[in-house]
Structure 1
């Protein structure tokens, strides 16, 4: 079964997490993704934990499925020449080197678009192609700190905290994907490619849409609120009597049904609490009453009662619980691939599907350099003697 991006060729110079997440999605949506790696070591995440019994990295598996691996020394002029030949046949280039690095190697957009005017070239960097920090390296948790995301995460009065997932890397990867797809759509309309600039810092700042709205509206610099919503009551996690946690997020129309389920008739009838603004003003009183009432119930039965009353609620699950949920299973969120060294291994599918078809099957992460000969012969047009000469010289 072909995917919607069948026929699109992506030359992937990226490594680690953000941009590889995007190129993995492109691969599992049907694109041919050629991952260019350093001879001998490859993407550094091949050595990251968690390591599997035969030495492969589950970290690498998570972001590099379905790609073809080519080893190529870009420091060698012969390697750069091969890279240019590959780019001449590609629809898309994705790279996450610091600004100017590929330009100095003759592999920047200006170098490649002359021979391939339809090329969509996406540069994914920490701080973008312009600005005083453009040459600064970036890391997920540092972006969380610099952008204000870390300052917003944690309990009131407690220390700042990182998020439970690498949110800077993963949200930036999604914007790399948006950049590729928008570039391809623009090429269809105009016939020309373009150079697209994705800054991880810009992406993190864009996540503050609601926080910035409060800052712009009230001059209020948002602070940590734990699981509570700064502008809505109730919207928070509560501990049930059996020790489990649930999250409730209700609006005005949910207030009375919530109070009925919890036996809080006084609150339900209190005229000061009928709209959200009143509940926000009396947040401490409302939250104390809700916590006390919820502590009298076990988590799962209470969640069922709340859902039956049309109150938005859900158990706070562990990752294991979430992946084993019947709805998750029915949707086929967890798939599997068979790796040549590690054998069968589970994988989270790319979360996009056609309504008439199955979700994309997880691709197989490539062994280092496994596709070098095939790609150089069929995409770059090299002959067998040329390939063997490059191998003998350590270029591939």
Structure 2
């Protein structure tokens, strides 16, 4: 049962998005109590359903990562009747989400300007690869190509090594999170203005905004940032070290932390070594220092060294695999693994929320990702007032 004590309870979202960025945005809105209707093509659905292997109960695993707390309606918007029903849904919604290429929603008669004439309170969010306009706006994009064009691959990887993609489709997720925040802001402004608005974001804009200090190194100093692997451009020692039985990261760039690290390693001589006395010295002589530290740290077992460094208050961690993450006592304490149940495919894990609230339990009422078209009948009835005969006629004609 859905919680009635969440900030977005009563907000209706017509979700026309697919793949990852848009569905992830919708999922976050659903976490906060919004009613999400996921509009999918009959017999096909969101392409994430068929992306794999691996699969679980007929869906690609990534589908489960971005589609909890939604109801699925199958609707063929290639038909005139399907377009008309889609428009009806938009006019009943508080929020419309879409991530087609620019121009697609306009051809369907579902563009913001058209809808806002009849639903001026509508918040309409568009996500794309390169942005709503401009010379590259019509180009298709995947997270891989965006990581390349937006600069992240050029600053990710080992020193002197090949460009490396980040380990997940990071900018799909960041774009979805940016859009989620923007929708919340627009809904808040609507309480004052009484009107909705259009929101635009893209993978490219999300990535460039995420460059942060790397971008400013170029914009202020005119200097291209280097690839540093796990190292830090301005702090040394600060990287992943091979241990006797695994890997450990240590962040001991500041002088007090460096001194504690040296004591743990029983290399107090390094504290007064003129090459390493100040942070600037350690940055300038990083290769010499790392050659020494690499040889020392590899002699230690990971857990034993982590315990000693923790006692000395030196920031460090085992480099965990997924088993290590989800067995970590702090991760478990913060309930970052949740379980959802679906009548058809049973129990499915989902990730816990990144943010907790004192006024409500954000996980209360969470539902499992839906089967394709699972809620077509009930959404058409609840949102649009269609009776069973009308729904049956639409099904017979292939519209749903």
Fold similarity call, TM over 0.5: yes
Shift of 1:388: 2.1
Match of 1:234 in 2: 237
1:213 corresponds to 2:226: no
Shift of 1:382: 2.3
Match of 1:125 in 2: 128
Q: TM-score, normalised by structure 1?
A: 0.96
How far does the alpha carbon of each residue in 1:242-267 deviate from its partner, in whole angstroms, 9 at most, with x for none? 3x111111223312111111112122
Match of 1:391 in 2: 395
Shift of 1:271: 4.9
* 3-state DSSP of counterpart to 1:46: helix
Long gaps (5+) in structure 2 = none
Long gaps (5+) in structure 1 = none
Counterpart pick for 1:381 among 376, 385, 392: 385
Query: Aligned equivalents of 1:188 and 1:356: distance in 2?
Result: 21
Query: Aligned equivalents of 1:235 and 1:328: distance in 2?
Result: 24
Shift of 1:387: 2.0
Moved more, 286-295 or 110-119: 286-295
The RMSD of aligned alpha carbons is: 1.6
Query: Aligned equivalents of 1:308 and 1:357: distance in 2?
Result: 36
* 3-state DSSP of counterpart to 2:102: coil
* 3-state DSSP of counterpart to 2:141: coil
Match of 2:29 in 1: 26
Query: Aligned equivalents of 1:288 and 1:63: distance in 2?
Result: 43
Counterpart pick for 2:93 among 90, 93, 102: 90
1:246 corresponds to 2:262: no
Q: TM-score, normalised by structure 2?
A: 0.95
Q: Structure 1 residues 300 and 310 mapped into 2: Cα distance closer, same or farther (>3 Å)?
A: same
Shift of 1:144: 0.8
Query: Aligned equivalents of 1:156 and 1:35: distance in 2?
Result: 44
Query: Aligned equivalents of 1:288 and 1:358: distance in 2?
Result: 49
Match of 1:180 in 2: 183
1:308 corresponds to 2:311: yes
Match of 1:101 in 2: 104
Match of 1:255 in 2: 258
Match of 1:343 in 2: 346
Shift of 1:323: 1.2
Shift of 1:74: 1.1
Match of 1:47 in 2: 50
**Residues 123 and 186 in structure 2, CA contact (< 8 A), matched pair in contact too:** yes
